[in-house]
Amino acid sequence: MFNILFIIEVVVMTYNGFSTKCVHSGEDGLEYDVVPPIHLSSTFVIKEESQELIYSRLSNPTRDMLEKKVAELESGVASLAFSSGMAAIATVVMSFVSPGEKVLLSEDVYGGTSKLFRDILSQKGYRYQYVDTRDVDKVRESISDDTKMIFIETPSNPMLRISNIRELSELAHEHGLRMVVDNTFASPYIQNPLRMGADIVVHSATKYLGGHSDLIAGVAVFKSLEDYEVVKLHRTRFGGVLSPFDSYLLLRGIKTLGVRMERHCRNAEKLSAFLYEHEKVKEVYYPFHPKFPQYDLARKQMRCGGGMITFRLSNESQEYIDDFLNSLRIIRKAVSLGGVESLITQPYLTTHGGLPDDYKQRLGITRGLIRFSVGIEDVDDLINDLDNALQ
């Protein structure tokens, strides 16, 4: 009797709080281990013809646990883990769009996503069009018969533009399009696009999900099992799966996602207020600062402002910028983001370096624009570091 009750309790156990999910979701099946084991086997002994565990490109127990955890965090029915964020994005796009068909892209998506379309997919006949996805009417006007997908990033990289996920999802569905949201900058702690109507969420899990700058990974999360099956088939054929060891690292990183995000947000709010007042800073972009142009939408859609701040220096000479970046002592000059350590970069030369000048000008990615990934260090140390370097 006790055993039956215990089994029932385990089976029906649901986790409500975000951090409880971060720690426990996906790991219910562990009998003795407190920590998920790393299943390194590339292949598994066949005990019955119907078993799903056959070969690790198809399925792997460590990765399966990770996928269940991420699906629960994003309120999806299932998720898939990839060897990088780009592998996730490319596989999702190619699962639903064919050559000759069009994707509408947020104007300032991550440079790598832009280059995937510009350098690879367009050469194979895929069509794409940049749209200012902050403006739902502009997106509506850009839909044509060959459009198959709307792909947005919100907040976007690096301008932190906010797109209205609910309204765009409704628009996408009116026209039978798939709505995909890159939720890398927000993380599932801040917003869950599937709950707002999106069909698929993608992440560079290299960033906040992993949180420690020690792995490259991607995930795609699905609202429907049908979409999941289509993308799973493509992932199996393309082969860009996440390794068992990186799956373990990601499982481990996610356990602290809630507490890390809370701290990232708190630090970033204080730092954005400091930067807004600084005489050497011309402009600041931070979604939860009252002067941010889309402050109201950000407050409606996001749980907190996130850990990314973008700002423009008053002096945009490369000499001053180099001096500033090289004078920082705690904040490191590096292109990635979302880790516990503060990182800073100049998108004009790095993340968006290979893109045409007129594109960068249009978006406001000038030389003096700085993207700051605020870490979880003590905020006063970060303020002092910035202040000294700006002087």
Ligand X SMILES: Cc1ncc(COP(=O)(O)O)c(C=O)c1O
Active site residues: 57, 110, 182, 207
Residue 298 C-beta: closest distance to ligand X, Å: 17
Residue nearest to ligand X (CB): 85
DSSP 189-206: TT--GGGGT-SEEEEETT
The whole-angstrom separation of Cα 155 and Cα 162 is 5
Residue 233 C-beta: closest distance to ligand X, Å: 21
Angle at 332 between CA 324 and CA 281, to 5 degrees: 35
Q: Which residues pair with 141 in a beta bridge?
A: none
Q: Which residues pair with 178 in a beta bridge?
A: 149
Looking at the Cβ atoms of 163 and 204, the one nearer to ligand X is 204
The whole-angstrom separation of Cα 17 and Cα 31 is 23
Residues 204-233 that bind ligand X (CB under 6 A): 204, 206, 216, 218
Residue 39 C-beta: closest distance to ligand X, Å: 23
Contact yes or no for 333/326 (Cβ under 8 A): yes
- Give Cα 265 distance to the centre of its chain: 16
Residue 335 C-beta: closest distance to ligand X, Å: 7
Total number of residues binding ligand X (CB under 6 A)? Answer: 15
| Run of H or E including 65 | helix 61-73
H helix intervals, 221-375: 225-238, 244-254, 257-277, 295-301, 318-327, 357-363
Residue 380 C-beta: closest distance to ligand X, Å: 28
Scanning the structure block, which residue is given the tokens 């705690």? 330
Looking at the Cβ atoms of 202 and 390, the one nearer to ligand X is 202
Which segment (42-50, 81-89, 117-125, 326-334) binds ligand X by CB under 6 A? 81-89
Any residues with CB less than 8 A from the CB of 50 and at least 6 apart, and which?
Answer: none
Indicate which single residue of 36, 85, 188, 197 sits in contact with ligand X (rule: CB under 6 A).
Answer: 85
Residue 216 C-beta: closest distance to ligand X, Å: 5
The whole-angstrom separation of Cα 299 and Cα 380 is 25
- Closest CA relative to residue 200, chosen from 151, 248, 250: 151
By the rule CB under 6 A, 200 interacts with ligand X: no
Indicate which single residue of 25, 62, 79, 84 sits in contact with ligand X (rule: CB under 6 A).
Answer: 84
The whole-angstrom separation of Cα 356 and Cα 361 is 9
Indicate which single residue of 24, 112, 130, 288 sits in contact with ligand X (rule: CB under 6 A).
Answer: 112
Which segment (122-130, 180-188, 243-251, 315-323) binds ligand X by CB under 6 A? 180-188
Residues 113-172 that bind ligand X (CB under 6 A): 113, 153, 157
- Give Cα 307 distance to the centre of its chain: 12
Contact track, ligand X, 262-301, x by CB under 6 A: ----------------------------------------
Which segment (78-86, 115-123, 143-151, 374-382) binds ligand X by CB under 6 A? 78-86
The tokens describing 295, both together, are: 């402050």
Residue 309 C-beta: closest distance to ligand X, Å: 15
Contact track, ligand X, 328-367, x by CB under 6 A: ----------------------------------------
Instruction: Catalog residues that contact ligand X under the rule CB under 6 A.
Output: 84-86, 110, 112-113, 153, 157, 182, 184-185, 204, 206, 216, 218
